[in-house]
Amino acid sequence: MSASVTEIDDVSTQIATATEQQSSVAEELSKNMLSIRDMVSKLVDSGNQTSAATKSLTHSNEELDRMVNNFKLR
C-alpha cells in the first residue's frame, strides 16, 4: 500500500512538473507569436510606404518625361 501511495505521489509530481513546463512553453509561444505579429505589421507598413513611394516616383518620372519631350533639338 505504501509503495502505491509513493508511486501515485511520484506520478502526481511528474504531472505537475510537466504541466508547469507546458505552461511555460505556451507562454513563450504566445510571446513569440506576438513578436511575429508585430514584425509582420511593421513589414506591411513598410511595404505600403514603399508602394506609395514607387507610385510617386513613377508619377514624377512621367512628368519629367513629358517635360523633356516638350524640348526639341533644332
Rounded-to-integer distance, Cα 9 and Cα 16, Å: 10
What pTM was estimated for this model as a whole? 0.65
User: What count of Cα atoms within 13 Å lies in the side-chain half-sphere of residue 68?
Assistant: 6
Give alpha helix (H) positions in 1-74: 2-70
- Tens digits of per-residue pLDDT, 27-71? 999 999 999 999 999 999 999 999 999 999 999 999 999 999 888
Across 10-31, average pLDDT: 96
